[in-house]
Every structure is written in C-alpha cells, then in structure tokens.
Amino acid sequence: MRRRVNVVPLGVLVLAFAGCGSTNKAATSSSLPLSATTSEAPPPVKPVTYSVKLAGSNGVPAGAPNGSGLAVITMNASSGELCWKFSQLKNVTAPTKARLYHNLPGMPGIPLGLVYRSSGCIGELPALLEHYEANPQRLWVGIKTTRFPNGAVRGQL
C-alpha cells in the first residue's frame, strides 16, 4: 500500500522555523548594525597622501639641472581640501610659485597659493579632487622661480 505524505504541514513547519511572517520588528531592526540603517551618512573618505621627489631635470624645459626637493601632497575629496608641504629644496633659489599640474584634457592645474609658501592648504575642491584621486598617475607638482618660470623642479605623483 502506498503512503501519502502531506506536503502542506511540512512547508508550514519550515516557514515557522525560518521566522517568515514575524511581526516583531523591534527585534529585527535592533539587531542591525548602525551603519546598515539608511538614515546615516556613509563614512568619510580618508585623505590620500603622496610623497613626491622633485627634480630639476623634470622642469619644463629642463629646469635647474641640480635642483631637487620633496613634496608631500594630501588630497581629501570628502572635505574638498588639498594640502602640501615642500622640504629639502636644493639649488632652487627664491621660489615664486608652486602648482599642481595634470595631463587631463580640459582641466586646469591648481595654484598652491598666490605666491610660494612651503606649506599650506586650499579648500572647496571636492569634485576636482575626486577626479584627481581617480587619476593620480597623471598629476605633477612643480615649483617655479624667476629664472625658471616654467618650473625649476617638478615631480610626478
């Protein structure tokens, strides 16, 4: 004789163990981590820092052949801030300006201050910095002097 298996009670039993149809919303929402809720903002993007060796041979045209230095560039797209610090400058007499350049069509470089300063920050650049952070291999930083107005020393990020 054949035995009949009743499938409906088995399905109800599986659904009961799985918690389907539960109306206890406090238990399900309190078990979620705070970052999973939709009302919280995403975590801020961490700043990206580049150490760049500057050389006169990278100038345009070839700058101070014996010039050298170090630039530390920090970009923070979430705050829209770009900071720099130049150090160890050698054979770069009386710097006049510094600028962050790029090889991106249609995008201007960024002057790092109106006159040369060895360190500083500029802000309100979130969209541009997002673009720069996505293409850092195309960025250059350079320092100009009166003798080398197109760049005494430069370095690629």
Q: Read off the pLDDT of residues 33-75 as tens digits, 9 standing for 90 and up.
A: 444 445 565 555 688 999 999 998 876 665 566 889 999 999 9
Whether 97 is in a domain gets the answer yes
pLDDT of residue 122: 94
DSSP state of 3: P
Whether 18 is in a domain gets the answer no
pLDDT of residue 7: 42
pLDDT of residue 149: 84
pTM (global) more than 0.85: no
pLDDT of residue 49: 94
Q: What is the 3-state secondary structure (H, E, C) of 9-78?
A: HHHHHHHHHHCCCCCCHHHHHHCCCHHHCCCCCCCCCCCEEEEEEEEHHHCCCCCCCCCEEEEEEEEECC
Whether 91 is in a domain gets the answer yes
Kindly report, residue by residue over 65-101, the tens digit of the pLDDT.
Answer: 688 999 999 999 888 999 999 999 999 989 999 999 8
Whether 24 is in a domain gets the answer no
The encoded tokens of residue 65 equal 């052949």
Strand (E) or helix (H) holding 154: strand 153-156
Whether 12 is in a domain gets the answer no
Q: Per the structure, how many domains does the chain have?
A: 1
Whether 117 is in a domain gets the answer yes
Whether 19 is in a domain gets the answer no
Residue type, 80: G
Kindly report, residue by residue over 104-126, the tens digit of the pLDDT.
Answer: 666 667 899 999 999 999 998 88
Which residue range(s) make up the domain with 55?
48-156
pLDDT of residue 1: 47
Whether 69 is in a domain gets the answer yes
pLDDT of residue 51: 96
